[in-house]
Amino acid sequence: AHLDRIADVDRAVHAFLHVSSEDALSAAGDVDARRAAGETLHPLAGVPVAVKDVVVTRGMPTTAGSKILEGWVPPYDATLVEKLRAAGMPILGKTNMDEFAMGSSTEHSAYGNTHNPWDLDRIPGGSGGGSAAAVAAFEAPLAIGTDTGGSIRQPGAVTGTVGVKPTYGGVSRYGLIAMASSLDQAGPVTRSVLDAALLHEVIGGHDPRDSTSLPDPVPALSAAARLGAQGDLTGVRVGVVNELSGEGYQAGVSARFEESLDLLRAAGAEIVEVGCPSFRHALSAYYLIMPSEASSNLAKFDGMRFGLRVEPEDGPVTAERVMAATRGAGFGDEVKRRIILGTYALSAGYYDAYYGSAQKVRTLIQRDFDAAFASVDVLVSPTSPTTAFRFGEKLDDPLAMYLNDIATIPANLAGVPGLSVPNGLSDDGLPVGFQILAPARADDRLYRVGAALE
């Protein structure tokens, strides 16, 4: 049914870069056979899932939205993909994204725009716009995204879907094409909080192949979602982050946010205001740390090892000239901008002034979270300051594009988990997201409070 739906609507939505019909049907057939043989299967066995194209999949092309990886077919599965397959979940295909996950609108994909199913003239958010649009357009019931600065939660918000960034280390990064290794986390994109919890339980858990993977077992997330769905939040302390509302937030976004606070109050939660003064500097710190790590991670795309290789048009064919020609042709403008920014911030003369200062700000943000979580159980804010904007509106203004991430980035810098749950429609008739943040390893709180709001 989902493959049919993709055939019907993906020409208009363009959520997918690759549809793996054969692979999906054979996995589904396998599940049917095992079920017929009386085997007890995982609750999500047979439920198909779409996977963001930055996650490597054996035998399926993986481009990370870039021309530099066009035609590359990975020889192995990411750990999270192994887990999806082990649970019997058919993989529908690979979803569109901003090149190397850099962007907030999916307009930086080298393979064309993904359209927001709510209004095809508008962006689906980014970088994981393909995964969110696939779920919102009923092309996939579940999808996997990755979130380095909001790329699961912001697309979730602007497409009316649920998006979760787990605690850093909660889901293995083995097999994710790294953008900024200290910030990247994979997580679920779904239509309900319980679905997200079930999918999170499948992909989470320790992985010896990822040195930053937490040793913890997967927490009881679906139980927390079921508890929250009963609607009783008595004793739960909710902190409203002062710095993440007000100026710069669309009126309809702020109005829906206030209404949800009333719902939380009615469910018995105690609402307090919390100051996190260092959050004002989160965006600046992120846009130094993230490009610095990306400039290093992307050095491996040299025309020798993966995908595209371009030889210089004239002159000698030296390794350095092949690298320059390949990277010049294979990377898009936003990726080049960040590589230049990152190498500059890391260069000997400027390291302390830029990268070093940004890392200090990161510590201050972590301390703000620690101080806040000493008195509240969760923090909340709108997920994104605006609803989905029109194509082209922010494309020529990188700073305006970066401002979309103002509310989502602090969680990545501190490694704490975050969930965006649909929060009604703004005055323009477009979806709004409500963000919930919890202390590291307390992902279950996101699901409890999120389910209470559904």
Binding site for ligand GLN (CB under 6 A): 101-104, 127, 146-151, 179, 290, 405
151 is catalytic: yes
Which of the residues 131, 151, 260, 426 is marked catalytic? Answer: 151
Question: Cβ 112 to ligand GLN, closest distance in Å?
Answer: 18
Q: Is 392 left (phi over 0), alpha (psi -120 to 50) or beta?
A: left
Q: How many C-beta atoms lie closer than 10 Å to residue 240's C-beta?
A: 18
Measure CA 224 to chain center.
22
Query: How far apart (Å, rounded) are the C-alpha atoms in residues 92 and 24?
Result: 6
In this chain, which residue has its C-beta nearest to ligand GLN?
Answer: 151
426 is catalytic: no
Q: Is 131 left (phi over 0), alpha (psi -120 to 50) or beta?
A: alpha
Q: Which helix (H) or strand (E) holds 321?
A: helix 319-330
Which of the residues 127, 192, 222, 384 is marked catalytic? Answer: 127
Q: Is 102 or 339 the residue whose CB approaches ligand GLN more closely?
A: 102
Query: How far apart (Å, rounded) are the C-alpha atoms in residues 64 and 70?
Result: 9
Q: Is 141 or 145 the residue whose CB approaches ligand GLN more closely?
A: 145
Question: Cβ 124 to ligand GLN, closest distance in Å?
Answer: 13
Q: Is 127 or 260 the residue whose CB approaches ligand GLN more closely?
A: 127
- Measure the N-to-C terminal CA separation of the chain; round to a whole number of Å: 26
52 is catalytic: yes
Q: Is 110 or 179 the residue whose CB approaches ligand GLN more closely?
A: 179
Question: Cβ 150 to ligand GLN, closest distance in Å?
Answer: 5
3-state DSSP assignment of residue 155: helix
Question: Cβ 375 to ligand GLN, closest distance in Å?
Answer: 29
Tell me which amino acid residue 352 is: D
Question: Cβ 354 to ligand GLN, closest distance in Å?
Answer: 17
Q: What is the dihedral of CA 222, 182, 373, 448, to 10 degrees?
A: -10
Q: Is 52 or 256 the residue whose CB approaches ligand GLN more closely?
A: 52
Catalytically active residues, by annotation? 52, 127, 151
